[in-house]
């Protein structure tokens, strides 16, 4: 990411706006150029976010710790619950794993109750008064073994989620107000029966960016800029389903992805992928969900079969 930041800094005086995504060090860029949320440490820090939201919304039990033995004492007090361990900062599910007493962790970490259910994310525009215009909800693909996504790695999305919830809209609106959000934002949820758990807040362009644009035939970057500038955005009706898959390398080696359709984020052919690294991004769309899913799965097979 630092390499991309360095490249971006070369053009910083030639652009009107800077739109930051996840893992970007916002402090490296001029504040007057950034359009969107800037002071987001209280959101990106998973424990600070828990402290901010847990009295108003349903969240998993969350603890900030430095000692794995202390984590074991907490886990022992809740024999009917499962727990996961997270870094205090992070995105994409990286570094998240199941708790076990043999884990070796340096520094602070998060011990969090595991909630089983559907993983979904909202996507909305926030205006300067922090009111929102809801765009959609997407199904999240997390830890897919078929895609090589061990544990809780982010493996893609399906947009839109076919079972929309008024609770998600209401909670997203309240969180936008509490966190004083502007621009394109999202919230990650777990839907467990009738319970809606808040997992994370994404104060930036999300991983569903391309899917929202394809499904709604809209320019989300333009919508982000307009909403930040308090220019009302009309959300188009959904036109089609979009599917994003991120296949991870199952066995280290070289892959020739150059002639496979619907594949993006392609590395050079002389790059040797290590096991567990993302190979590429697959994006498909269709008015019928089953067709979009089937096509993405066919492309996934081509990606894995392209190993030299």
Q: Are 96 and 124 in contact (CB under 8 A)?
A: no
Residue 23 pLDDT = 78
Question: How far is residue 122's CA from residue 138's CA, in Å, rounded to a whole number?
Answer: 6
Q: What are phi and psi of 301, to 5 degrees?
A: -65, -40
Q: Are 93 and 46 in contact (CB under 8 A)?
A: no
Q: Are 101 and 93 in contact (CB under 8 A)?
A: no
Q: For the chain, where do the domains classified as CATH 3.30.470.20 start and end?
A: 35-45+61-228
Q: What is the DSSP code (8-state) at residue 25? A: -
Q: Show the low-confidence residues of the chain (pLDDT under 70).
A: 1
Residue 24 pLDDT = 82
**Segment (H or E) for 256:** none
pTM for the full model? 0.93
For the record, the structure tokens of 234 come out as 């009309």
Residue 106 pLDDT = 87
Question: How far is residue 161's CA from residue 137's CA, in Å, rounded to a whole number?
Answer: 5
Tell me: domain 241-305, CATH 3.90.1170, correct? Answer: yes
Q: Are 156 and 243 in contact (CB under 8 A)?
A: yes
Q: How, if at all, do strands 109-113 and 154-159 pair?
A: unpaired
**Peptide bond connecting 176 to the previous residue in cis, omega within 30 degrees of 0:** no
Q: For the chain, where do the domains classified as CATH 3.90.1170 start and end?
A: 241-305
- Residue bearing tokens 């997992």: 199
What residue spans of 131-234 are helical by DSSP H? 166-179, 209-216, 220-228
Q: Which CATH architecture has domain 35-45+61-228?
A: 2-Layer Sandwich (3.30)
Question: How far is residue 67's CA from residue 47's CA, in Å, rounded to a whole number?
Answer: 16
Question: How far is residue 128's CA from residue 238's CA, in Å, rounded to a whole number?
Answer: 25
Residue 228 pLDDT = 97
């Amino acid at each position: 990411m630092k390499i991309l930041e360095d490249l971006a800094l070369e053009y910083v005086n030639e652009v009107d706006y800077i739109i930051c995504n996840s893992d970007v060090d916002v402090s490296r860029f001029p504040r007057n150029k950034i359009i969107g949320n800037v002071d987001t440490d209280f959101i990106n820090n998973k424990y600070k976010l828990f402290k901010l939201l847990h009295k108003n919304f349903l969240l998993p039990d969350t603890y900030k710790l430095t000692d794995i033995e202390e984590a074991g004492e907490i886990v022992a007090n809740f024999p009917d619950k499962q727990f996961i361990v997270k870094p205090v900062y992070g995105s994409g599910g990286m570094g998240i794993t199941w708790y076990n007493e043999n884990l070796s962790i340096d520094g602070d970490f998060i011990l969090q109750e595991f909630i089983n259910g559907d993983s979904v994310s909202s996507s909305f525009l926030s205006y300067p008064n922090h009111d929102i215009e809801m765009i959609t909800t997407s199904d999240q693909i997390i830890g897919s073994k078929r895609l090589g996504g061990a544990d809780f790695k982010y493996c893609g999305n399906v947009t839109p989620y076919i079972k929309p919830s008024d609770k998600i809209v209401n909670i997203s609106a309240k969180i936008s107000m509490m966190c004083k959000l502007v621009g394109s934002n999202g919230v990650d949820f777990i839907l467990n029966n009738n319970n809606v758990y808040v997992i994370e807040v994404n104060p930036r362009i999300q991983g569903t960016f391309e899917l929202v644009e394809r499904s709604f035939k809209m320019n989300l970057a333009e919508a982000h800029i307009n909403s930040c500038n308090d220019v009302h955005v009309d959300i188009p009706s959904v036109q089609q389903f979009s599917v994003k898959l991120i296949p991870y390398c199952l066995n280290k080696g070289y892959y020739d992805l150059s002639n496979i359709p619907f594949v993006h984020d392609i590395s050079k052919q002389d790059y040797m992928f290590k096991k567990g690294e993302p190979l590429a991004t697959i994006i498909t769309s269709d008015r019928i969900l089953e067709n979009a899913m089937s096509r993405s799965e066919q492309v996934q097979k081509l990606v894995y079969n392209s190993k030299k």
